[in-house]
C-alpha cells in the first residue's frame, strides 16, 4: 500500500495513558464491576471525577494470562452502585473515566447502530443527519457484468461493506440478519432509540436495514441466483466515496450468496409485513425465486476473484450452512412442510450449528428454527437448544480462566477478532433469553467490557466512544474527509496475531502476545479495518443489554 495516503496518520505506537483497564462506557449499577490491573498491587480506590474516594478495596491476583502476557490483578468494585462518573487509582496509576448508570450503554448503542447510515452507498449523506461527516452522492452509475461488459445493471444502494467501497451479498446478508434478529428479540431497545436518520414510519433500524435489503434484491439475476458482489475492479485509493468514479462491476452468481439472499429476505419478510406489506411481499418473492434456483443447482458454486480483480473475495469452502439457513427461514416464514423436509435433509452435512459469522451461518438457521411460529420437531429443537447450551458452557469455562474475562483463545485473535468477541457475547445473550440461563448476562457483559476498554491495550475499539479510543481505522472516508475525529460508532477489527498486512508486520514484533497485536493506524487493514458484520454483533449485544433497562 502506498504510504503517501497516510501522511497524517499518527504513530501506530500511540499508547494508552492509563495503566488500569476498565470499560470506558461504564457499568450498570447492579452489575458485577471489575477492572483489570496488569501489575502487582494490593489495594485500589475508585474516585469520583471530583477526586473524592468513593470506594476502596483489595485486589485479587488472577495470575498470568497467556493471551495478553500480563500478570493480572482484579479490582472488584461491585458494591459501588451510585450513579456517577468515576476512575480507578492504584499503584500510582489510573484508569480512564467511566460511568455507572442504568442506561450506561445507550449512547454507544446509538452510535454503533447509526454507523450504518454513514456507510450508505448510492446517495449523499445529508448534513442534517451526518453533521460534519456529510458528503455527496456516490456510485450512482450503471454497473456492468464482469463476464459480459455489454450487459448493464442497476445495483445502486446498500452499504459500503468495509474500509473499501465494495458491496458483497454474503457479508450484507449476515449483517442485516444480525440487525433483524436484534430487533426481533429486543424490540424495546429500538423503540426507544433516538438516532437521527431518515426513516419511513417504522423503527429506525428497520428503515436502515431496508436500505440494504433493497440493494440485496437488485443483486438477484433473472433466474433467481444472486450475484456475489458489486465492486470496482481494484480497491479505490483513499478518496471520498463520491470521488471514486471507476466502473462498478457485478460478479458471477455463487450458491452461498443465493442461499444467504433467500434466508435474509425470508427473515425480513415476516418482520416488515407489519409496516410495509408490499415490501414484505417483494422480499418473499425474492426468497422463493432464490430457493427455486437452489433446488435446481444442488452443486456448490463458490467464488474466487477473476484475474484483474483485487477486491474482497468472501470465498467459502462449501454452502452447507447457507442452504440450511435458507430453508429454516423459509419454513419459519411459510410453515410449508416441504421447507421443513429440506432443512432436515440439509443437516446431513456437517457444519457448526451455533456459528453466526458471515462464513458459517448455521447458528442463524438454528435460531430461526427455535423462534419459528410453526410446528417444530421436538427432537430437532432440543438438538439446537443443546448445541447453544453446550457452546455457552464451554465459553463460560474459557471466560472464567481468562485474565480479561473473555472466551477468546490465542487463535481467535485473527483478522476481525472483535467479531469473534461479539459473536461469543451473542451466544451468551441467546443463552439468557432463549434458554433461561440468566447467568449468561454477566458473561456477555465481560465481552462487551473488553471491547470497550477492559483489554491489555486499554483502548475502546469503538470510534467516538471512550476517553482513549481507536480513531484511525482503515476506512477511506475517515482519512479522506480531513476531519481529525472519526465518524463515531465504527467497530475496529481488533488484535490479529497473524499480522496479515505489511504495515502490521513492520510495526508489531512477532513475539507480541495475541491480545496486544493491534495498532490504531489507517495503514493496517488486518488490524484496524471496519466492516458491516463487525458492527452488527455489537448492535445485537447492546440491544440485548439496553432492552432490559
b/e burial code for range 363-374 (CB count within 10 A of at least 16 → b): bbbbbbbbebee
Mean pLDDT over each residue of the chain, to the nearest integer: 96
Name the packing angle between helices 169-185 and 204-218 (round to 10°).
Answer: 150
Distance CA 295, CA 297 (A): 6
Task: Supply the pLDDT for residue 352.
Answer: 98
367-397 pLDDT per residue, tens = 999 999 999 999 999 999 999 999 999 999 9
* Confidence at residue 446, expressed as pLDDT on a 0 to 100 scale: 98
Q: Is the per-residue pLDDT at 266 higher than 60?
A: yes
Instruction: Kindly tell me if the per-residue pLDDT of 303 is higher than 50.
Output: yes
Active-site annotation holds for 529? yes
Q: Among the options 110, 161, 520, 521, which is catalytic?
A: 520
**How many CA atoms are closer than 13 Å to the CA of 474, on its beta-carbon side?**
28
Q: Is 221 a catalytic residue?
A: no
Q: What is the dihedral of CA 258, 262, 263, 264, to 10 degrees?
A: 100
Q: What pLDDT, on the 0 to 100 scale, is given for residue 197?
A: 83
Contact at 8 Å (CB) between 251 and 170?
A: no
Q: Does the active-site annotation cover 520?
A: yes
pLDDT on residue 6: 45
| Collapsed DSSP state (helix, strand, coil) of residue 448 | helix
pLDDT for 198 equals 81
Average pLDDT over residues 478-489: 97
What's the rounded mean pLDDT across residues 464-482?
Answer: 97
Q: Which residues is 143 bridged to in the sheet? A: 153
Beta carbons of 228 and 121 less than 8 angstroms apart: no
Residues above pLDDT 90, as percent of the chain = 95
- Which residue segments constitute the domains of the chain, with CATH numbers given? 23-104 (2.60.40.10), 106-450+529-547 (1.50.10.10)
% of residues, the chain, pLDDT over 70: 97
Active site residue 393: no
**Residue 4: pLDDT band by 50, 70, 90 thresholds?**
very low
Give the angle 83-109-440 at the CA atoms, nearest 5°. 75
Instruction: Choose the catalytic residue: 110, 235, 474, 521.
Output: 474
Q: Annotated catalytic residue: which of 164, 412, 437, 521? A: 164
Closest CA to 88 of 166, 29, 144, 36: 36
Tens digit of each residue's pLDDT (9 = 90 or more) over 91-140:
999 999 999 999 999 999 999 999 999 999 999 999 999 999 999 999 99
pLDDT, tens digit (0-9, with 9 covering 90-100), for 5-19: 444 444 455 789 999
> What 8-state DSSP symbol labels residue 488?
T
Average pLDDT estimate for 27-42 = 98
Backbone φ and ψ for 36, nearest 5 degrees, come out as -105, 130
Q: Over 70: is that where the pLDDT of 1 sits? A: no
Amino acid at each position: 500500500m502506498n504510504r503517501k495516503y497516510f501522511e497524517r496518520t499518527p504513530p501506530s505506537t500511540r499508547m494508552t495513558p492509563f495503566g488500569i483497564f476498565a470499560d470506558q462506557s461504564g457499568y450498570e449499577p447492579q452489575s458485577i464491576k471489575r477492572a483489570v490491573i496488569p501489575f502487582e498491587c494490593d489495594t485500589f480506590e475508585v474516585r469520583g471525577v471530583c477526586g473524592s474516594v468513593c470506594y476502596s478495596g483489595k485486589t485479587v491476583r488472577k495470575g498470568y494470562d497467556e493471551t495478553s502476557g500480563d500478570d493480572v490483578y482484579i479490582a472488584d468494585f461491585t458494591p459501588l452502585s451510585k450513579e456517577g462518573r468515576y476512575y480507578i487509582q492504584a499503584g500510582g496509576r489510573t484508569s480512564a473515566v467511566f460511568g455507572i448508570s442504568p442506561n450506561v450503554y445507550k449512547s454507544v448503542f446509538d452510535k454503533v447502530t447509526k454507523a450504518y447510515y454513514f456507510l450508505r452507498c448510492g446517495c449523499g449523506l445529508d448534513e442534517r443527519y451526518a453533521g460534519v461527516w456529510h458528503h455527496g452522492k456516490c456510485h450512482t452509475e450503471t454497473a456492468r457484468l464482469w463476464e459480459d461488459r455489454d450487459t448493464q445493471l442497476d445495483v445502486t444502494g446498500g452499504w459500503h461493506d468495509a474500509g473499501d467501497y465494495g458491496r458483497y451479498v454474503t457479508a450484507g446478508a449476515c449483517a442485516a440478519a444480525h440487525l433483524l434478529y436484534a430487533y426481533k428479540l429486543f424490540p424495546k431497545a429500538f423503540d426507544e432509540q433516538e438516532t437521527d436518520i431518515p426513516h419511513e414510519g417504522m423503527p429506525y433500524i428497520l428503515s436502515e436495514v431496508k436500505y440494504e435489503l433493497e440493494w440485496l434484491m437488485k443483486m438477484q439475476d433473472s433466474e433467481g441466483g444472486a450475484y456475489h458482489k458489486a465492486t470496482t475492479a481494484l480497491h479505490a485509493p483513499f478518496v471520498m466515496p463520491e470521488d471514486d468514479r471507476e466502473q462498478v462491476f457485478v460478479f458471477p452468481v455463487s450458491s452461498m450468496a443465493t442461499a444467504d439472499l433467500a434466508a435474509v429476505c425470508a427473515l425480513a419478510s415476516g418482520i416488515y409485513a407489519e409496516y410495509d406489506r408490499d415490501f414484505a411481499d417483494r422480499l418473499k418473492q425474492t426468497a422463493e425465486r432464490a430457493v427455486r434456483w437452489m433446488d435446481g443447482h444442488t452443486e456448490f458454486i463458490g467464488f474466487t476473484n477473476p484475474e484483474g480483480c483485487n477486491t474482497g473475495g468472501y470465498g467459502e469452502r462449501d454452502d452447507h450452512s447457507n442452504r440450511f439457513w435458507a430453508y429454516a427461514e423459509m419454513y419459519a416464514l411459510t410453515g410449508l412442510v416441504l421447507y421443513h423436509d429440506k432443512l432436515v435433509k440439509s443437516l446431513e452435512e456437517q457444519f457448526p450449528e451455533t456459528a453466526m459469522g458471515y462464513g458459517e451461518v448455521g447458528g442463524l438457521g438454528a435460531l430461526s428454527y427455535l423462534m419459528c411460529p410453526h410446528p417444530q420437531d421436538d427432537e430437532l429443537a432440543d438438538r439446537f437448544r443443546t448445541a447453544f447450551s453446550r457452546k455457552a458452557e464451554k465459553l463460560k469455562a474459557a471466560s472464567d480462566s481468562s485474565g480479561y474475562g473473555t472466551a477468546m483463545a490465542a487463535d481467535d485473535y485473527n483478522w476481525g477478532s472483535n467479531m469473534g468477541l461479539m459473536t461469543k457475547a451473542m451466544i451468551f445473550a441467546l443463552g439468557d433469553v432463549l434458554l433461561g440461563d440468566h447467568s449468561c448476562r454477566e458473561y456477555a457483559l465481560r465481552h462487551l467490557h473488553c471491547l470497550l476498554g477492559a483489554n491489555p491495550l486499554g483502548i475502546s475499539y469503538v470510534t467516538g466512544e471512550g476517553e482513549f479510543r481507536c480513531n484511525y481505522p482503515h476506512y477511506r472516508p475517515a482519512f479522506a474527509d480531513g476531519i481529525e475525529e472519526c465518524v463515531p460508532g465504527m467497530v475496529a477489527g481488533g488484535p490479529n496475531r497473524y499480522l496479515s498486512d505489511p504495515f502490521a508486520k513492520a510495526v508489531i514484533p512477532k513475539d507480541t502476545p495475541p491480545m496486544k497485536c493491534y495498532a490504531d493506524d489507517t495503514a493496517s487493514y488486518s488490524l484496524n479495518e471496519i466492516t458491516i458484520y463487525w458492527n452488527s454483533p455489537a448492535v445485537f449485544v447492546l440491544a440485548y443489554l439496553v432492552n432490559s433497562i
